[in-house]
């Protein structure tokens, strides 16, 4: 696997990236840059600009959701509701509903922007009046909270308590208020000589910290960012060899593989790998070290989640570890439930999650607006896995992944498609097997591919061992006549010796008898 792709700060006016840790395998390919635009209002995202979420809905009917049955093909046909006061103009004539959509359990709900602003202001007042121990409230731009009905339908069942999420990345800064009390002591398998509780990112100002906040953020700080599984714990593992200079730097594949094994050994139930590099050209598109480590994780009932890649609109190369068998590869969607433009179009993509429309938080607390990338998608799915496993502690990782796939909302046709797999995950359905049962034989492409890879590996091993066995048998049969001849010759010699001794003994005995008789007479 080649060097990990990362993004670096650019002048204001460009967009930050959730998933910049990507690199191409082609010779001479440069790192793909994504910029950061510092928030000019001390941690609060500026109003949505023209050409972002609001424009997505212009003169366009919203997509419906799946039917009432989990994974069902039906899609509700729902209309946008917007009053004349809420309507704008596109190109001077077409009305534009200033609303956004809740995408979860079979419903779309339009919410006027003015109402959002009032509710947000009231929320801030209420939050300031409550003690610090009050339930964290997400930022307004964390649009996946209402989209997934996290606060109303998911958090009453689970907030991720008791689940450890291994964040294999650049390390995590545990001292930010957004991560207070969340980050455990981890490890450094890339040669950085840390315990994971230091973000060593020198290119992006804290990629690992951002991923940890998206999963288990507590609110507060300069961003107020809340993760979808705030009661989960973060196990930070620094695996980014690109952060390390000098002779202590560890090979990338080895660092990742060792990081996976460490996190599994420390009790993590889900691993987040929001990075990638060009996939090997082997049939399973995975290095042997990483493949064996993923196998180790599956054998210990641990789910491995990885970002699909961010160059789907350019080179669209397959990227590992998302391409590895047994890894839940996550593509990206935008807030209009369309494939995010940069998400990789590859057959290994299984599901999708939000990839754009929010912020990134640097390792020192700096807030960068307009963040985008499938790194965020993977982090959100890792948080979803934590939520599902916390509510269903006896459910295997294999079943958790199957439920995420089976209850997903199809985004494009055919299903699965290469950009979003089986669709955008729906946590409220995946977490509740009683209300949304999934058949035991429902598709599970992630583990089906893993099983196929294991069978192919065993078959290859057997095929390699067979010629040696046949050679051994053939050699044994060719030397057998010589052995038999030797045995026959040895037997003949023994028989001859015995016959000689018997005859000699017989003659001596006869002579003695004859001599005795002559003396008596």
Q: What is the pLDDT at residue 106? A: 37
Secondary structure (3-state) at 476: helix
Catalytic residue among 39, 169, 188, 199, which? 169
| Whole-number Cα distances in Å, 142 to 147, 226, 370 | 9, 8, 12
The domain over range 143-460 is classified in CATH as 1.10.10.60: no
**pLDDT for 95 beyond 90:** no
Q: Backbone phi, then psi, for 390, in 5-degree steps?
A: -65, -40
Return d(Cα 214, Cα 273) in angstroms, integer. Answer: 13
pLDDT of 30 over the 80 cut: no
Structure pTM?
Answer: 0.71
Helix (H, G, I), strand (E, B) or coil at 48: coil
Taking every pair of C-alpha atoms in the chain, what is the biggest distance, in angstroms?
156
| pLDDT tens-digit readout, 182-204 | 999 999 999 999 999 999 998 88
Q: Is 169 a catalytic residue?
A: yes
* 320-346 pLDDT, tens digit each: 999 999 999 999 999 999 999 999 999
To the query of whether residue 141 is one of the catalytic residues in this protein, the response is: no
The dihedral of CA 133, 139, 144, 148: what is its sign? positive
Catalytic residue among 207, 241, 334, 412: 207
Distance of CA 468 to the CA centre of its chain: 39
Catalytic residue, from 23, 274, 375, 412: name it.
375
- Confidence tier at 103 by pLDDT (50, 70, 90): very low
What is residue 489's predicted lDDT score, i.e. its pLDDT? 74
Pairing of strands 319-320, 277-278: antiparallel
Tens digit of pLDDT for each residue in 246-278? 999 999 999 999 999 999 999 999 999 999 999
Asked if residue 109 has pLDDT above 60, the reply is no
Per-residue pLDDT at 65: 30
Quote the distance between the C-alpha of residue 73 and its chain's center.
26
Does residue 207 have an active-site annotation?
yes
Q: In the predicted model, what is the mean pLDDT of the chain?
A: 76
pLDDT at 108 over 80: no
Q: How is the chain split into domains, by residue range?
A: 143-460
């Amino acid at each position: 696997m080649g060097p990990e792709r990362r993004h670096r700060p650019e002048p204001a006016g460009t967009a930050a990236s959730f998933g910049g840790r990507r690199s191409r395998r082609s010779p001479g390919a440069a790192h793909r840059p994504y910029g950061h635009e510092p928030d000019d209002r001390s941690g609060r995202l500026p109003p949505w600009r023209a050409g972002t979420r609001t424009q997505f809905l212009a003169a366009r009917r919203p997509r419906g959701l799946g039917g009432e049955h989990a994974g069902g093909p039906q899609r509700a046909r729902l209309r946008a509701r917007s009053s004349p006061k809420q309507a704008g103009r596109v190109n001077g004539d077409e009305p534009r509903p200033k609303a956004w959509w809740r995408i979860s359990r079979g419903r779309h709900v339009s919410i006027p922007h003015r109402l959002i602003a009032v509710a947000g202001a009231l929320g801030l007042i209420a939050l300031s009046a409550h003690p610090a121990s009050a339930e964290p409230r997400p930022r307004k731009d964390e649009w996946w909270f209402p989209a997934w009905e996290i606060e109303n339908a998911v958090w009453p069942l689970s907030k991720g308590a008791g689940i450890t999420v291994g964040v294999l990345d650049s390390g995590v800064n545990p001292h930010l208020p957004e991560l207070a009390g969340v980050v455990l002591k981890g490890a450094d398998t890339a040669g950085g000589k840390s315990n994971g509780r230091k973000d060593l990112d020198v290119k992006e100002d804290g990629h690992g910290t951002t991923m940890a906040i998206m999963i288990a953020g507590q609110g507060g700080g300069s961003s107020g960012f809340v993760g979808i599984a705030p009661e989960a714990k973060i196990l930070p593992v620094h695996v980014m060899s690109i952060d390390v200079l000098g002779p202590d730097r560890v090979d990338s594949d080895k660092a990742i593989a060792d990081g996976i094994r460490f996190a599994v050994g420390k009790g993590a139930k889900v691993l987040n790998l929001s990075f990638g590099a060009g996939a090997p050209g082997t049939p399973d598109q995975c290095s042997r070290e990483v493949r064996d480590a993923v196998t180790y994780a599956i054998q210990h009932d641990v789910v491995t989640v990885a970002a699909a890649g961010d160059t789907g609109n350019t080179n669209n190369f397959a990227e590992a570890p998302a391409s590895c068998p047994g890894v839940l590869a996550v593509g990206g969607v935008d807030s209009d439930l369309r494939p995010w433009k940069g998400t990789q179009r590859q057959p290994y993509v299984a599901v999708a999650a939000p990839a754009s429309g929010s912020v990134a938080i640097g390792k020192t607390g700096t807030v960068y607006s307009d963040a985008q990338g499938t790194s965020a998608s993977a982090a959100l799915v890792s948080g979803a896995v934590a939520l599902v496993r916390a509510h269903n502690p006896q459910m295997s990782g294999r079943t958790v992944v199957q439920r995420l796939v089976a209850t997903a909302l199809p985004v494009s046709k055919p299903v699965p498609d290469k950009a979003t797999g089986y669709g955008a995950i729906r946590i409220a359905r995946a977490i509740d097997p009683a209300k949304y049962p999934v058949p035991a034989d429902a598709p599970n492409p992630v583990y089906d591919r893993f099983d196929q890879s294991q069978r192919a590996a065993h078959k290859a091993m057997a095929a390699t061992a067979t010629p040696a066995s046949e050679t051994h048998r053939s050699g044994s049969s060719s030397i057998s006549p010589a052995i038999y001849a030797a045995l026959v010759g040895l037997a003949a010699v023994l028989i001859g010796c015995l016959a000689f001794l018997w005859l000699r003994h017989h003659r001596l005995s006869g002579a003695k008898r004859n001599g005795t008789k002559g003396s008596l007479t």
